[in-house]
Chains A and B, each alone.
Chain A
Amino acid sequence: MVDVTPADAVPPAEVGEMELYHPHSWWTKYVFSQDAKVIAVQYSITATAIGLVALVLSWLMRLQLGFPGTFDFITPEAYYQFITMHGMIMVIYLLTALFLGGFGNYLIPLMVGARDMVFPYVNMLSYWIYLLAVLVLVSGFFAPGGPTGAGWTLYPPQAIMSGTPGGQDWGIILMLSSLILFIIGFTMGGLNYVVTVLQGRTRGMTLMRLPLTVWGIFTATVMALLAFPALFVACVMMLLDRVLGTSFFMPAIVEMGEQLQHNGGSPILFQHLFWFFGHPEVYIVALPAFGIVSDLISTHARKNIFGYRMMVWAIIAIGALSFVVWAHHMYVSGMHPYFGFFFATTTLIIAIPTAIKVYNWVLTLWRGDIHLTIPMLFALAFIVTFVNGGLTGLFLGNVVVDVPLSDTMFVVAHFHMVMGVAPILVIFGAIYHWYPKVTGRMLNEALGRFHFWVTFLGAYLIFFPMHYLGLMGIPRRYAELTDMNVMTESAHHLNSFISIMAFVVGFAQMVFLFNLIWSIRHGREAGGNPWRATTLEWQTPETPPAHGNFGKELPIVYRWAYDYSVPGAKEDFIPQNVPGSFAPSREPA
């Protein structure tokens, strides 16, 4: 069946090889490394470590909510500090850093067929500044007064007032400095990810042949580069308000009978800046997850992705639209009703490209040869969870529904489902999928299945009841939920149940960590391409890929990334670098 087309006569490589930096010592090879793969592992380990801190914080919060009054050391101040640090760490220092810094660094060069990122030195700096940002963040725990307790949104004026933990101490200053550092570091990394996709692609790798993982990470990085400056501006201005007494955000305010020196500032201005970053941030986390899950589903269902073009367009459309919906986080700020109407409309429009993606995932599965491997289980769980969380998003996108629900547990349940649990499920799936490439060994299957089922079912047992609590009117952000009309005895039992489940799910993550470490030495040998996948990272001569990724010659790409189960082909997958054309498969779209 293989008929060789004239284009298969390999043309001379038009692109010169990049000058690759070669490390000479152990330090430059493993610590101050400029190799994107090492940087990716460094990013991932740091993000996981700080993520564990956030996990412990969530346990402490659940202890307080489930068993109020039992634990003396969890004062209301401490509770607010836990909330703040948990939210900020999870959203920025874990999810953003892991998806873009971790997966972006590892997968972009390998998937586009490059030897490394285009600016390796800047890439290395990016990690070290990120690490510094994490250390500054953590130092808040040891500073006098502890970390800030302003909530992850850091709304002024309360964020820098003495009533808020860390407001007049070190906490808020360290938090803002850490964010500023993070953004500087991220910008360095982000330049690399974008320009590598633009300029580092190997011969034949057109944009429309990129795996969707790269499309997701690429678009998310572009968005992050344009959205993070808003947070940067907000942080710098708030830092000036706090340290030098300016009044960008601080209105005239009387605190404990004393007139503060601030005058006339606008807290709403901060909210606009914060959410101008904050909403794209949701998609900065979601788009890489969308991309990765597309590849997981296609690979493990042995079927080409349904509607590749639509998937690409939807990613671009979501990226563009997400910049004009930010004020839907501010319905309760007293905005003009027409603004509310406009932002509700744009918010609901985003549901269209998102729904297209969900349909395409489901249609990819339709009559596929589904292998229920662990990555596939996580991918399926992601689809379900994302749809669940997305549907409550449709509720909250409407002004009249959002206003009564805004300060209840319903919102907590919504955003944990859609941008907490869903992306984390993809991260787990992706780790089970690519761990064999990074280490050369498979993760343990039995432990993996245990980890999946406990995490998946446990997450639902945590967050489904929370929707119900929210509808009952139980407020979020309260350190004590006793002595309230809405807090019935049954609601209290439900809260205790949620807390216990939070510990169970957390325990499953310890099993996962054990699996990660144990399998480095004791896992089954994986070979180069254990999943029989088509994309370039599985075609490297060595596993784990050596410095420079592809041996002597860069691969040449002859086809798209989804040639699974092509009729007439010998195997049920054709790698992207295999020449020769086969009879065109059924029209997939």
Chain B
Amino acid sequence: MSVILVFLLVIAGFAGWWLSHQRLTSKPWLEQGVAGDFVGLDRSALPTAKIGLGVFLAVVGCLFSLFTSAYFMRMGLSDWQPLPLPRLLWLNTGLLLLSSVALQCAVVAARGGQTDMVRLGLATAGLTTLAFLAGQLMAWRQLTEDGYLLASNPANSFFYLITGMHGLHILGGLIGLGRTSIGAWSGTRPERLRLSVELCAMYWHFLLFIWLGIFAVLAGWAATFIDICQRLLT
């Protein structure tokens, strides 16, 4: 359970930092009047949707930390046989990276008001993401053809489960990306478009980050890294 505890520690640190700016030591029974003199105690200047997405991503991060925790705990048991990762995953990683970069370009373009570039970025991101999902499915097929079936070993089960869960989250993101694209082509207000492009980019960066994390875990580098750390500590 160490992975999830580390993740929660990060969340707790962030929450603590935020709470420390909320004057939790003030004495509200002595303070009357509009809180205008307490600058920064009202809502955040960030758009509400961004904060909402941030909270949601914390939940998503929690979910994948728990999968990783379970992975490490199950890995210690005797019947674990690691499976060779298909090399296709490297290409897929590149595709996901590309879609993230494309969305970042779209954000820059949206801030500069260049609608054409926004459309280009969104389209590139959508296509590379679809290619990523197709690539993941091909990786699954390669593995099943080589006999690494879902139920034959826990390492396989975890591989399909975690990549599948990540794929589902990408799929959900594509709905948001689709709605943003419709907005980009039908000409919504620029500030609204900018916000939705930024939200998409935020989601994609986070899922890229998650993917890099689970890739490292599934490939066994994370375990090696933890092993080295443990040896250094003992």
Contact = CB atoms under 8 A, between A and B. Distances in A.
B28 A560 contact: yes
B186 to A, nearest CB: 19
A199 B26 contact: no
A269 B33 contact: no
A172 to B, nearest CB: 18
Interface residues of A, number: 71
A276 B73 CA distance: 14
A199 B41 CA distance: 11
A312 B58 CA distance: 23
Nearest to A277: B66
Nearest to B28: A560
Contact of B55 (A225, A229, A309, A324): A225
Contact of B8 (A15, A199, A244, A323): A323
Contacts of B12: 320
Contact of A8 (B15, B22, B33, B80): B33
Most A CB within 10 A of own CB, among B24, B25, B79, B151? B151
Nearest to A200: B43
B4 to A, nearest CB: 7
Contacts of B23: 206-208
A203 B32 contact: no
A556 B51 contact: no
Given A198-B43, A226-B62, A247-B151, A309 B33 contact: no
A580 B33 CA distance: 7
Given A233-B63, A264-B78, A276-B4, A195 B33 contact: no
Interface in B139-167: 150-151, 154, 157-158, 161, 165
Interface in B166-190: none
A588 interface: yes
B87 interface: no
B56 interface: yes
B70 A233 contact: yes
Nearest to B41: A206
A367 B20 CA distance: 34
A265 B18 CA distance: 41
A484 interface: no
Interface string A547-583: 0000000001111101100000000000000011110
Contacts of B229: none
Nearest to A231: B66
A304 B28 CA distance: 11
Interface in A196-237: 198-201, 203-209, 222, 225-226, 229-230, 232-233, 236-237
A584 interface: yes
- Number of contact residues on B: which range applies? 35 or more
B17 interface: no
Contacts of B38: 206
A69 interface: no
A8 B32 CA distance: 9
A273 B70 contact: yes
A226 B157 contact: no
A580 B34 CA distance: 10
Contacts of A244: 150-151
Contacts of A559: 28, 31-32
A177 interface: no
Contacts of B154: 246-248, 264-265
A14 interface: yes
B230 interface: no
Interface string B72-83: 011001111000
A308 B29 contact: yes
A198 B54 CA distance: 12
B35 A203 contact: yes
Contacts of A240: 150, 157, 161
Given A208-B24, A309-B27, A247 B157 contact: yes
Contact of A14 (B4, B19, B42): B42
Contacts of B24: 207-208, 309, 312-313
A203 B4 contact: no
B44 to A, nearest CB: 7
A7 interface: yes
B11 interface: yes
A7 B33 contact: yes
Interface string A1-26: 00001011011001100000000000
Given A118-B48, A240-B157, A560 B58 contact: no
A264 B26 CA distance: 55
A266 interface: yes
Interface in A117-168: 118-119
B204 interface: no
Contact of B29 (A203, A272, A557, A584): A584
A273 B71 CA distance: 12
B226 interface: no
Contact of B58 (A11, A119, A225): A225
A191 interface: yes
B30 interface: yes
B84 interface: no
B156 to A, nearest CB: 8
Given A203-B34, A226-B11, A246-B150, A191 B63 contact: no
Nearest to A560: B28
B78 A556 contact: no
Contact of B77 (A261, A264, A557, A560): A264
A563 B49 CA distance: 34
A195 B48 contact: yes
Nearest to B30: A584
A403 B198 CA distance: 54
Given A195-B52, A584-B30, A187 B157 contact: no
Contacts of A247: 79, 151, 154, 157
Nearest to B56: A191
A114 to B, nearest CB: 10
A581 B151 contact: no
A560 B30 CA distance: 9
17 contacts: A7-B37, A11-B36, A195-B48, A206-B22, A206-B35, A206-B41, A208-B28, A233-B63, A240-B157, A246-B157, A247-B151, A248-B74, A263-B79, A269-B74, A272-B73, A313-B24, A556-B34
- A-B residue pairs, 4 tightest by C-beta: A7-B33, A264-B79, A560-B28, A581-B32
